[in-house]
Amino acid sequence: MDTRLHLTGLTRGELERFAEESGEPPYRGRQLFAALQRRRLRSFDEMTDLPKALRGALAARAAASTLTVESRYVAADGTRRYLMKTHDGLPVETVFIPEERRDTVCFSSQSGCPLQCSFCLTAKLGLLRTLTAGEMVEQIIVALNDAYGVGAETPRGTNLVAMGAGEPFLAYDPLMKALGIMADKEGLFIVPNRVTVSTAGVVPKIKELATVAARPHLAISLAAPDDELRDELMPINKRWPLGELLAACKEFEQSLKPGERFTFEYVMLDGVNDADAHARRLANLLNRHQLRAKVNLIPHNPADPLPYRPSPEERVEAFKAILESRGVHAFVRRPRGRDIYAACGQLAARRVDAGPTLHQLS
């Protein structure tokens, strides 16, 4: 167990104060911030612009990285999954999704997840613990370094999604801190406008986010158009049922600028939530609450022992057509990285047999 201070989780201002407390001038703090965040260095040894004695002193009481990459899996479609371990031995997973126009990094907010959604493999782990801001930022650094090279500039379009393991709104404080650190123009410079946070429906935090000025985009996982089915699929619905959830969504929507939208995600489970009647009920529900959010339809990503199959393509298209005929904008999400357990709902620290797609990172 490592008790050293993880510097990747400190803001530029905090690093300046850290430098001063260590008897160094504040510019050393800014230099450290640039080394950690802009140059994405994960060890003091690489920070050759710092005096050697200082690097030694830093290493004795602080850490430039705390995650260890255990495996890196590459899917047939180019999606990469990193299986990492925290200093206290817990799994952390991050996914890099290359796309034609821009790339996306999907990061985890917790190790495991407490929410018990019946269709999600991460639920099987239970909650191991909430990750720190530094552990969230470091996941992105690992993925960017692997994709673009250490120190190389991040393409301006790269997006982040907090859609890995865990419930980001049960990790609200460290998440918001991580987003603040990543937005710094002297660091990663990934502004909130390029980040999407997905929640299973933690109502108080949806309301809180509505009051934040520089905030990420929001996605809400719905999975069902009525309380009876949603109680079954997503037990969090018993705590915050659809009426309360959609009222909070409305409040959030009212805080958006004209033209901005948030998103609902709807996992499509064959024979469970994908009938015409479900589509009609979903459209009615959103129209009744006067929500103009769009709906992303996600075909279920199967994984043993989950008792579901993905809805057939024609079913997904028919469901989408019903939503659109009732004025609800709907999009079908293509699954990415299913073959290496990197797709939505498949993150459960699975090891894939070593094959031609497995590469080890040091």
Give the residue numbers annotated as catalytic, written as ranges. Answer: 93, 344
Q: How far is the CB of 143 from ligand SAH (least distance, A)?
A: 17
Task: Give the DSSP H/E element, type plus range, for residue 172.
Answer: helix 172-183
Q: How far is the CB of 103 from ligand SAH (least distance, A)?
A: 18
221 touches ligand SAH (CB under 6 A): yes
Among 345, 348, 349, 350, binds ligand SAH (CB under 6 A): 345
Among 16, 24, 103, 265, binds ligand SAH (CB under 6 A): 265
Alpha carbon distance 329, 283 (integer Å): 10
130 touches ligand SAH (CB under 6 A): no
Q: What beta strand segments (E) does the chain contain?
A: 5-6, 62-63, 68-74, 80-85, 91-97, 104-106, 110-112, 127-130, 159-162, 195-199, 217-221, 263-268, 294-299, 330-332, 358-359
Q: Which is nearer to ligand SAH, 36 or 272 (CB)?
A: 272
Alpha carbon distance 10, 12 (integer Å): 7
Q: Which is nearer to ligand SAH, 83 or 120 (CB)?
A: 120
10 touches ligand SAH (CB under 6 A): no
Residue 220 · residue 263 · CB < 8 Å: yes
String of contacts with ligand SAH for each residue 87-126, x by CB under 6 A: --------------------------------xx------
135 touches ligand SAH (CB under 6 A): no
Q: Which is nearer to ligand SAH, 75 or 344 (CB)?
A: 344
218 touches ligand SAH (CB under 6 A): no
Alpha carbon distance 342, 93 (integer Å): 9
Among 75, 301, 336, 338, binds ligand SAH (CB under 6 A): 301
| CB contact burial 227-237 (16+ within 10 A = b; e otherwise) | eebbeebbbbb
Q: Measuring CA to CA, how many Å separate 111 from each of 88, 114, 115, 123, 327?
A: 11, 10, 12, 11, 38
Q: How many alpha carbons fall within 13 Å on the CB side of residue 5?
A: 13
Q: How many residues bind ligand SAH (CB under 6 A)?
A: 16
Q: Which is nearer to ligand SAH, 9 or 166 (CB)?
A: 166
Which spans of this chain sit near ligand SAH (rule: CB under 6 A)? Answer: 119-120, 163, 167, 198-200, 221, 223, 265, 267, 298, 300-301, 344-345
